[in-house]
């Protein structure tokens, strides 16, 4: 069906003008309604400069045929986005499939993340992030309706219990169950209610679903009508709850006595079931709530664990989250490798600059790819604390500013490194950095390499750090070697002013594992850079993954009244960003030997190798405090 084109890809603020060209790859494609593609669609920046309208009339929306519910697989298309800022032009180009990004098939966000799973209504089309959000939002509202009806059911059942307790003529001092009356024996289920020494029963036959019938033998005659009236109220409330599930007929209330398990084999203790014993909404014996009425393919909609911050999540058969809604109503999505519970964590990733790499420690060493296991500094000590069951990954890099750390470890959002490309030499392209994000800048005296994608091309990014101006000339000395069989890059005679800008996307390893982030020391005073970079790195993690954000450590020359206030301000902003995950290193290292805080606000010289970096004793003290925090929060229980 035809969908409205929305989204923004490489926008860097508000452009003065812009164009979006969509080239259909392959043969003419038509959806199930007869809407067919043409070879090319063109858009122009709309008058409000908020997106692209139809090129013939930019004030009107741009529509294209895309795959929606019930349609055949959508075609591939090549997207060319051209944005004009003053006299400069930014051009981006990539390929993706035309699949609607909402469940109704009416919206196509050309800049949305690639699809990740399978909604049945879309045939073989993957579930887009926007569609997952729509699904979870709808499911959350539906569950709220069901929960309200369940409250009414519980109230009615409580009325029944109260009538039984007040009007019973059967009493026993024994906990032994009295025999059930013969009329209810075939296929019967029962519930024992105990109060004041009375053993009571409420039983129902399968023909009365949902419904509760009292055993006449246990009631005085005057109580029968009252109990049946309460049971009728329960039936009405249960029927309304069933309607809230989706108007399906044939569902009944179930509990632990039914002996049901759900499709994952979990024992059901409360909820609903159809005639086959399958439950669209239920609670399992571990106390979790599930909603299979909103399940997608082989995924379940699961209520988050208390205290996790997650309201509802779309999980695979191993209970790993693919998408979620937080308690605050925010939507997120992550790789299917994301771990849901701390017991699955086996790695601790340490991202940062020279303080993380361990400059000043006896175990410091440069590596060929800015990754060590565990390298020097506090990660080395932390590895000793955590033992062999957890691998500490040291991704510290000397001289890196916050933007550099984010570009090397995350590479998304507004913190990605961007390059112009020159003519290749022997299959390797020389690059010119365009935005001072330098993911491989380090004084290692050699080359540094990293795997990832330059634009959409897989390969290896390399920087030669042997030049005398390796640090001051941050945009130079980069090359890129594509993998065999990958497309060629679009080169420019003047890479510093290229026809096309390429963005570097590093391989994101261990995004499902706990992280410790330490950035900002090499760009003190530029608070915006630090906050933006740390925010980007945190956004790469699923919200349930443990993390710590270490604040900026004051140098030995930054006393109160002489720069210490600047450190305090950036740490205040980082604490606001990270919340409970913030860790202040000045509280650990800015103390005297007797444990009192140093009055000038600087770290203790006994724990420093120079004015900025710790020695072995300082890194030991820092790692001890971090380990105590990790244990207290139960990262690896």
- Interior/surface letters 400-418, b for 16+ CB within 10 angstroms, e for the rest: bbbbbbbbbbbbbeebbbb
Cβ-proximal residues to 446 (8 Å cutoff; 6+ apart), any chain: 366, 368, 464, 465, 466
Q: Each residue of 574-584: pLDDT tens digit?
A: 999 998 899 99
- Interior/surface letters 438-471, b for 16+ CB within 10 angstroms, e for the rest: bbbbbebeeebebebbbbebbbbbbbebeeeebe
Distance CA 241, CA 152 (A): 9
Mean pLDDT of 391-410: 94
Distance CA 268, CA 252 (A): 13
Higher pLDDT, 404 or 410: 404
Q: Each residue of 532-579: pLDDT tens digit?
A: 999 999 988 866 789 999 999 999 999 988 999 999 999 999 999 998
Q: For residue 626, is pLDDT > 50?
A: yes
CA distances 24 to 63, 302, 422, Å, are 14, 39, 29
Mean pLDDT of 123-147: 51
Q: For residue 50, is pLDDT > 80?
A: yes
Distance CA 373, CA 619 (A): 16
Closest CA to 303 of 271, 257, 265, 275: 271
Does residue 92 contact residue 110 with C-beta atoms inside 8 Å? no
Q: For residue 619, is pLDDT > 80?
A: yes
Mean pLDDT of 196-220: 33
Residue 629 tokens read as: 């925090």
For the chain, counts of helices (H) and of strands (E)? 9, 31
Least reliable range by pLDDT among 303-312, 348-357, 438-447: 303-312
Q: For residue 119, is pLDDT > 60?
A: no
- Interior/surface letters 233-265, b for 16+ CB within 10 angstroms, e for the rest: bbbebbbbbbebbeeeeebbbbeeebebebeee
User: Residue 89, SS3?
Assistant: strand
pLDDT band at 125 (very low <50, low <70, confident <90, very high): very low
Write down the pTM of the prediction: 0.51
Q: For residue 419, is pLDDT > 80?
A: yes
Q: Each residue of 260-288: pLDDT tens digit?
A: 776 666 777 666 665 555 555 667 766 66
pLDDT band at 142 (very low <50, low <70, confident <90, very high): low
Q: For residue 196, is pLDDT > 50?
A: no
Mean pLDDT of 484-504: 93
Higher pLDDT, 217 or 546: 546
The torsion region of residue 193 among left (phi > 0), alpha (psi -120 to 50) and beta comes to beta
Least reliable range by pLDDT among 32-46, 172-186, 291-305: 172-186
Closest CA to 518 of 385, 382, 369, 631: 382
Got the DSSP string for 165-177? HHHB----SS-SP
Q: Give residue 312's pLDDT.
A: 65
Distance CA 590, CA 38 (A): 67
Cβ-proximal residues to 171 (8 Å cutoff; 6+ apart), any chain: 197, 198
Cβ-proximal residues to 367 (8 Å cutoff; 6+ apart), any chain: 375, 444
pLDDT band at 109 (very low <50, low <70, confident <90, very high): confident
Highest mean pLDDT range out of 164-168, 273-277, 443-447, 604-608?
Answer: 604-608
Mean pLDDT of 596-613: 94
Mean pLDDT of 33-50: 88
Higher pLDDT, 9 or 580: 580
Q: Give residue 296's pLDDT.
A: 43
Distance CA 450, CA 431 (A): 14
Highest mean pLDDT range out of 20-34, 121-135, 146-160, 436-450?
Answer: 436-450
pLDDT band at 155 (very low <50, low <70, confident <90, very high): low
Mean pLDDT of 115-143: 49
CA distances 248 to 153, 211, 396, 455, 465, Å, are 18, 17, 56, 48, 67
Tell whether the torsion through CA atoms of 154, 158, 164 and 167 is positive or negative: negative
Closest CA to 37 of 65, 69, 4, 2: 65
Q: For residue 182, is pLDDT > 80?
A: no
Q: Give residue 387's pLDDT.
A: 86
pLDDT band at 294 (very low <50, low <70, confident <90, very high): very low
pLDDT band at 25 (very low <50, low <70, confident <90, very high): confident
Write out 493-507 in H/E/C secondary structure.
CCCCCCCCCEEEEEC
Least reliable range by pLDDT among 74-78, 199-203, 452-456: 199-203
Least reliable range by pLDDT among 177-186, 327-336, 552-561: 177-186
Q: For residue 178, is pLDDT > 60?
A: no
Closest CA to 364 of 396, 336, 327: 396
């Amino acid at each position: 069906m035809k969908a409205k084109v929305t989204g923004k890809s490489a926008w860097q603020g508000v452009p003065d003008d812009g164009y979006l060209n969509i080239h259909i790859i392959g043969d003419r494609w038509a959806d199930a309604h007869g809407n067919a593609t043409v070879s090319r669609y063109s858009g122009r920046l709309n008058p409000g400069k908020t997106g692209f309208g139809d090129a013939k009339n930019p004030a009107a929306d741009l529509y294209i045929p895309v795959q929606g519910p019930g349609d055949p697989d959508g075609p591939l298309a090549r997207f060319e986005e051209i944005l004009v800022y003053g006299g400069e032009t930014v051009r981006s180009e990539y390929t993706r499939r035309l699949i609607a990004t909402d469940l109704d098939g009416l919206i196509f966000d050309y800049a949305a993340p690639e699809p990740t799973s399978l909604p049945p209504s879309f045939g073989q089309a993957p579930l887009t992030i926007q569609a997952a959000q729509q699904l979870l939002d709808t499911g959350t509202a539906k569950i709220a309706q069901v929960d309200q009806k369940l409250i009414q059911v519980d109230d009615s059942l409580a009325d029944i219990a109260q009538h039984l307790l007040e009007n019973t003529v059967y009493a026993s001092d024994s906990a032994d169950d009295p025999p059930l009356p013969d009329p209810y024996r075939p296929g019967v289920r029962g519930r024992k209610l105990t109060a004041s020494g009375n053993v009571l029963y409420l039983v129902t036959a399968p023909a009365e679903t949902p419904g509760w019938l009292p055993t006449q033998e246990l009631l005085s005659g005057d109580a029968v009508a009252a109990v049946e009236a309460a049971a009728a109220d329960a039936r009405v409330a249960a029927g309304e709850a069933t309607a809230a599930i989706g108007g399906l007929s044939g569902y009944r209330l179930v509990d632990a006595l039914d002996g049901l398990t759900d499709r994952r084999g979990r024992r059901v203790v409360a909820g609903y079931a159809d005639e086959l014993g399958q439950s669209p909404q239920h609670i399992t014996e571990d106390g979790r709530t599930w909603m299979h009425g909103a399940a997608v393919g082989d995924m379940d909609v699961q209520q988050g664990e208390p205290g996790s911050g997650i309201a509802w999540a779309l999980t695979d058969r191993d209970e790993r989250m693919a998408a979620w809604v937080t308690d605050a109503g925010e939507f997120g999505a992550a790789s299917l490798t994301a771990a849901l519970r701390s017991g699955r964590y086996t790695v601790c990733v340490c991202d940062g600059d020279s303080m993380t790499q361990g400059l000043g420690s006896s175990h410091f060493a440069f590596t060929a790819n800015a990754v060590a296991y565990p390298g020097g500094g506090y990660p080395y000590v932390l590895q000793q604390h955590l033992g062999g069951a957890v691998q500490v990954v040291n991704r510290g890099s000397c001289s890196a500013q916050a933007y550099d750390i984010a570009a090397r470890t995350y590479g998304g959002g507004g913190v990605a490194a961007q390059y112009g490309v020159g003519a290749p030499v022997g299959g390797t392209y020389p690059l010119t950095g365009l935005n001072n994000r330098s993911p491989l800048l380090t004084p290692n005296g050699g080359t540094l390499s990293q795997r990832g994608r330059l634009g959409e091309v897989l390969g290896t990014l390399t920087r030669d750090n042997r030049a005398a101006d390796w640090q001051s000339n941050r945009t130079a000395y980069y090359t890129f070697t594509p993998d065999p069989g990958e497309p060629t890059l679009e080169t420019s005679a003047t890479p510093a002013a290229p026809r096309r800008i390429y963005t570097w996307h590093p391989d994101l390893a261990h995004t499902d594992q706990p992280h410790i982030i330490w950035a900002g020391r090499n760009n003190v005073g530029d608070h915006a850079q630090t906050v933006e970079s740390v925010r980007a790195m945190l956004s790469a993690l699923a919200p349930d993954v443990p993390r710590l954000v270490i604040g900026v450590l004051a140098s030995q020359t930054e006393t109160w009244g002489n720069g210490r206030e600047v450190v305090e301000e950036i740490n205040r902003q980082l604490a606001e960003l990270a919340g409970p995950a913030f860790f202040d290193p000045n509280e650990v290292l800015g103390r005297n030997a007797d444990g009192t805080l140093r009055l000038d606000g600087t770290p203790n010289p006994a724990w420093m190798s120079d004015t900025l970096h710790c020695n072995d004793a300082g890194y030991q003290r820092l790692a001890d405090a971090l380990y105590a925090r990790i244990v207290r929060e139960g990262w690896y229980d």
